Amino acid sequence: MGGRSQLSSEVLSSKLEGVDHDNQTLDIRDLETLTELLKHSSSFYNGTVLPTTNLFVGREYFHTTQKKLYRLSQVSPATWVVTEDLNAVITNQQAVDDLGATLTTLIGTKLNSSAAGSTGLSLLATISAAAARTVLSAAKSGLITDSDLTINANKFLGRSTTGVGAIEELSSVIPFIPQKSITRDLLHHSTVMKIARLNKPVTGCTVYRANGVLTEDGTLMTWGRTNTYNMGANIAADTMSVTAPALFYPRIPNGEKVIDFVITGETSYAVLSNGWVYSCGINSYGALGHGDTSNRPAFTRINYFIANSISISEVVSTGPRQVPAATGVFFISTDRKKMYACGYNNNGQLGNASLTNQLTPFLTYDAGSDTIKKVVITACHQATGYILTNGGYVLATGYNLEGQCGDGTATQRTSWGVVSGGLIGGGSGIVDIDATAGWTTASSAVRSGHIAALHSNGSLYTWGYNAYGQLGLGDTTNRTTPVLVPGLGSTVLKFGTSGGIYGWTYIYLSNGYLAITGYNGQGQLGQGDTTNRTSFTAVSTSAENIAALPPFQGKIKLLCHNGASNGHNNLIVLDTDERLWFAGYDYSLYINNATATTINRFTEILYNLDSLDEKIIDIVFNGYDGTYSHHILTNHGKVYGIGEFTYGSLDGQSYVNNYPNPSRRFIRLLRS
């Protein structure tokens, strides 16, 4: 092995292409190839001296001379622990080859009770791809049963008896949940995928240090912090996962792909083209839908839908904040006539006529002759669920102490009811809805939210909590039924709600004006002050020229508000000239030379993309409270992030480029 010459970049590329496109694993015995892979990754991940800077618990570092993988267990003093030793792989290779020759005998006799069989299988799956293929062959011939595979899951995952992850990626060899490994990460550093969709905005509360995107070929890529299990990386430790395909159990069938997904603060969901649904994350209240409260570190199929021949096309969920893992989730059937729910239900938001948490999905709504157009669920411990039908009706259930359900009362609801009072046509005619909910502090019981609904005639209705004028009705009185917003003068083209209890609402009118009402403590209304407004007030200036209309006047392409629910709010405007404008709480200091966190006039965010013809087509917020980032998707299928990036949440590779945290410039997502 030592006599071979250094691999050329062409040979390395061919090896990588073979691994990626031919669905083959890289034999770990080819240490020269592995070394070259390591050389082509950032020095952040490997080298000859253990790092002394940019330290955080869970950081991994491959020592190229010692051929050992270290993991940082303590920052001060820096304590590095060996988790993988390639020298041991070389030493044990002959033993592994011998073991592979007698594998059939071992697994054919008392696999579950044989210590020798279990130990040998563990070593086998950990080290040798060739012998692992024999495992697969034996499974296909019936020598290993489905029960064996379940009971001995760790053995087949390539993990030792202590749970240490194996070096070699076996996902294309053994059709079960594979482990995160050095090789897996490095291989995925080396290929580029075109991104089709960002993560969904999460209403009320938001994702934090965890994210995902969907590629054009239907692959779900995830990255960020793994402590809540919701990356689908099969990692339960608190560490960082670089950008890589999420892991599914059972594996996605050939010909199928992910068509919908959502990653929340502690749970994640994915829907396949065949109607299957998978979930992973923290499961304290049964939100994963598996009939128990056990956590899942990899995307695991929800068998309820399989058993009942139910096909799902969309999933809607929300993130917890005040109560950890307090997640509720809705699943919409492929024909969009039925909706199922499970998870946290402290206010009746699941619509099961009780306040009981639901560990298994159940039918919560049947649209009959109508169909479901949109579903919204707020969060932060005072959740309310909303359904908009294609017939133009809005239904609500859950938290209602300030009239959020729009039924004329301030009484909690535990079943779905049509919102009708105050709406034109007895409740029909609504074409879009948006809602927010939040709290004063994370430990406070003071919490509330409001909702806005757009009518087909371009008018806007609002109801719910109104302490800061967020309903735009000229006062601070709560409303328990929808009220038509007066005095707009033009039809509403775009709108949104944000802020939770510190609520505010924005609208983009057909006359070209952006108008905002409600809480303005962070200057997010863009009026040059921090004074609240009780009526929609047009944004008439910008920081570029306070004596002139803002440059985005009449040409707004996209609007993105952050999901923070305790007042740390901001609003980003993208105009048709591809200029980005920002107003509000600027913790991450997006604004060039900014020294304050309050930006009370819309100010341009300076940025560069890889190509001059690249255009932004979507923007999504990630974070909570005052710690956040934003990601943009371009027409070239690339993703860029700006803001806070601990655990690699911004770009899928953490401190590789040695940018300050938070980053004040857009950084391209690894592999996009």
Strands (E) located in 60-162: 60-63, 68-74, 79-85
Query: What phi and psi, each to the nearest 5 degrees, are found at residue 250?
Result: -70, 165
| AA letter at 271 | V
Quote the tokens at residue 516: 């905002």
Average pLDDT, the chain: 76
DSSP type of residue 542? B
Fold (CATH) for 192-366? Methylamine Dehydrogenase; Chain H (2.130.10)
Residue extent(s) of CATH 2.130.10.30 domains in the chain: 192-366
Lookup result for tokens 């359900």 = 405
CA distance 547 to 528: 12
Mind listing the pLDDT tens digit for each residue in 623-640?
766 667 889 999 999 999
Mind listing the pLDDT tens digit for each residue in 172-221?
333 322 333 333 333 333 456 788 999 887 665 555 678 899 999 999 99
Q: How many CB atoms lie within 10 A of CB 41?
A: 18
Query: What phi and psi, each to the nearest 5 degrees, are found at residue 505?
Result: -135, 140
What share of the chain in percent tops pLDDT 90?
45
Mind listing the pLDDT tens digit for each residue in 236-256?
777 777 788 898 988 899 999
**241 beta partners:** 224
Q: Nearest CA to 152 among 130, 108, 184, 119?
A: 119
Using CB atoms within 10 A of its CB, is residue 56 exposed (0-12), middle (13-18) or buried (19+)? middle
Predicted pLDDT at 642: 86
Lookup result for tokens 């709290």 = 439
Can you say whether the dihedral through the CA atoms of 625, 468, 404, 373 is positive or negative?
Answer: negative
For the full predicted model, state whether its pTM sits above 0.95: no
**80 beta partners:** 72
Q: Which of 17-31, 200-214, 261-275, 578-592 has the lowest mean pLDDT?
A: 17-31
Reduced to 3 states, what is the DSSP secondary structure of residue 35? helix
Cα distance from N-terminal residue to C-terminal residue, the chain: 35
Cβ burial 191-227 (10 Å sphere, 16+ → b, else e): eebebebbbbbbbbbbbbbbbbbbbeeebbbbbbbbb
Mind listing the pLDDT tens digit for each residue in 635-658?
999 999 888 777 777 777 754 444
Checking if the pLDDT of 498 tops 70, the result is yes
Cβ burial 572-610 (10 Å sphere, 16+ → b, else e): bbbbeeebbbbbbbbbbbbbeeeeebebbbbbbbeeebe
